[in-house]
Chain A
Amino acid sequence: MEVKEWIKRRISEYYSTFRFPTTNLSKREFGIGDFGKKIERRHFCFNGEDELKGFLIKEAPLYLSYSSSFYNFPCRTPMEAKERVGTELIFDIDSEDSSKESLMKAKDETLKLIDILREDFGVKHYTLNFSGNRGFHLHIHEKRFFNLSQEARKKLVEYLLGELDHSKFFSSTEHKIIGPKLGDRGYKGRFAKKLYEIVEEGRKFKAHKDKWRKALMDGNYSVLPFSFSELIRKTEFLKDLIMVRVDVDGAVTYDLSKLIRVPNSIHGSTGFVAKIIREGEIEEFNPYEQALPFGEDEKVLVKFLKSVRLIGENEVKVKGTKERIEKSLAFILSLRGFCIPIE
């Protein structure tokens, strides 16, 4: 059996037990990809889970994506004919490469994003999934965001990525300088809290500690012996300490006709599943353990086409040797051209 056909059969097998993980299936546009192209055909739509499953078993696509938007007529073309009725809010956190360090960084970025979305935006309902390659996708299931325009989504991305001018936290009249105080929220509040922390620890501003404290309590900075511009200059360093700067791919969030990998579907380049990650499990998430498409028990005899050392193993699989290995591993290595199944 040719390797491509073996891969397609395994994908078909995977989708025979597949459950569509999110809502609004019939309102989404789907796209599929094959060897070499992530989205080869799009504008598919399905009436329900059974119809989708039947399609996936038959086509066995290497990549399965769906629209972040919901449409009245998801199959129609051009895009305007689909009649968009809403768009899920989605964030894509990618990393530079597939190293362990990069994945750790992407996890940190994701946790940072979840924190700010909860704290500032009051987000409670979301699905987090592994992208299947080097990062994570966060799908927010809250209707209040569905109708946001592209422009409004850009403002949200700007809040996560952008550069602020801390001088705008302050304002001055002839007799008074007003600035951030401890009770403030958002970036202004984070600025005040960080400043307070620094003053309390005595790292800076020792000379007027009590005055800084007082200013931070009521937001009246006139108690300090500084002019407006001196104050701005002295507090500029704080800007870098409070900026969240979550490393998200903005276009994924604001492009209303974007197709994104379906959670729990297979990623045809890596062979991993775009696995949904439950609350509190991201820190420990390891794709080689949690994102494998098949169970541990099944084994497949393969022949190695290249020498390869597997992650976590000392021994090198030498080119030309034959070995019975886990089906998931055989699937992943076959996709990447390291081995071929021989039975």
Chain B
Amino acid sequence: MDYVEKVLSFLFSASYEFPEISIVEAKKLFLSILSEGDLNLKELGELELSSLKVSLIISSLSKNEFLRNKFAVVLSKFLHKKIIDLEGKELERLANKLGIEVESLWMEVSHYLEYSPNSIDYSLFYKDVFQGKVRVSEHELKRIIQEFIYKKLRSFMKSFNPSVLDAQTLNKIKEAVSFLENEIPKFSKSVEIKKVSSHPPCINKIMKRLKKHENLSHYERWVLAIYLINLGVPIPQINELYKNLPDYKEKITLYQLNHIKEKGYSMPSCSKMRTYGVCVGCDTKNPMEWVYGSKRMDKKKNK
């Protein structure tokens, strides 16, 4: 059994008995996820497996969406790294074992629709689609496996029933949940832009998802950054907002924000936004038109 199978079969097994130390280890594991944004597991012994399972239960019991999503995103990314060198039949064997039907890199379309990332790069429009199968590359298949793991983790959290735990273990894990929820950094949930009374609906939708700590696609992050930079919002303020992302990394975020600012990218048109899959339809030609419109309305109001 390879690494990913071993982890997933343990996490989703019906076994809920683990040594007390695994609760302590799970807390440590979670703290490192919160501070470094990454999972650092060198070994994969019984203790590591049980502390991962306790971490999953912590996420399931917590009502904090940031904590829940952070764990699912970080663990699925970590397991993605473990399959990065898999190729050919080995890769397909793993996918099929997990329940993703794929043969000679033609994937069952319903599995593709369900597990492909929400990015325009994975839009069915641009794929070979034939007789209920979609052609994928090995790179895409690995990314789809990552998304599959993410969705399975989220689904576990949603349906987890605490009654499977004995009272003592449940209390200890609840204590860990409270402890970790207090460790979550406080984030800025909005950007105050005095000159603008309303943002375009596409931007509002992205901001809403960001505030819910959902994992935004590359294009969503990209257009939001261009939008805010074009409105003159300072980089540190935008960086604070991006801390809501479950896979936030300060170094990469700051690099990209500064890069966008230096290059002076202008806001993509609505037709471009449509092709990015982020347009919600509001009858304007460019999202900035909405802003200029709202500025004009503000002026009228002030008169």
Give B contacts to A, CB under 8 Å.
108-110, 113-114, 116, 118, 120, 123-133, 135, 274-275
Contact = CB atoms under 8 A, between A and B. Distances in A.
Contacts of A147: 110, 114
The 5 residue pairs across chains A and B that have the minimum distance between CB atoms: A122-B132, A186-B129, A165-B275, A185-B130, A152-B113
Given A165-B275, A187-B125, A145 B130 contact: no
Given A148-B113, A152-B114, A187-B125, A163 B130 contact: no
Contact of B135 (A156, A168, A185): A185
A155 B124 contact: yes
Interface of A: 119-123, 144-145, 147-149, 151-153, 155-156, 158-159, 162-165, 168-169, 184-189
Nearest to B115: A152
B114 A185 contact: no
15 contacts: A120-B109, A120-B129, A122-B133, A144-B110, A145-B110, A152-B114, A155-B124, A158-B124, A159-B124, A159-B125, A168-B120, A168-B126, A186-B129, A187-B126, A188-B126
Contacts of A165: 120, 274-275
B150 to A, nearest CB: 13
A144 B114 CA distance: 11
Given A186-B127, A187-B126, A189-B128, 15 more contacts: A120-B109, A120-B131, A122-B131, A122-B133, A145-B110, A148-B113, A149-B114, A152-B110, A155-B123, A158-B124, A159-B124, A168-B123, A185-B135, A186-B128, A188-B126
Contact of B275 (A168, A185, A186): A168
Contact of B114 (A119, A121, A148, A188): A148
Contacts of B135: 185
Nearest to A156: B113
Given A159-B125, A164-B126, A168-B126, A123 B132 contact: yes
Given A121-B109, A148-B114, A149-B114, A164 B125 contact: yes
Given A155-B124, A187-B125, A189-B128, A144 B108 contact: yes
Given A147-B114, A152-B113, A184 B128 contact: yes
Contacts of A122: 109, 130-133
B179 to A, nearest CB: 30
B81 to A, nearest CB: 25
A143 to B, nearest CB: 9
B237 to A, nearest CB: 31
Contacts of A186: 124-125, 127-130
Given A119-B130, A119-B131, A122-B133, A151 B125 contact: no
Contacts of A187: 125-126, 129
Contacts of B113: 148, 152-153, 155-156
A158 B113 CA distance: 11
Which of B110, B131, B275 gathers the greatest number of chain A CB atoms within 10 Å? Answer: B110
B181 to A, nearest CB: 25
Nearest to B277: A158
Nearest to B129: A186
A159 B126 CA distance: 10
A35 B123 CA distance: 44
Nearest to A145: B110
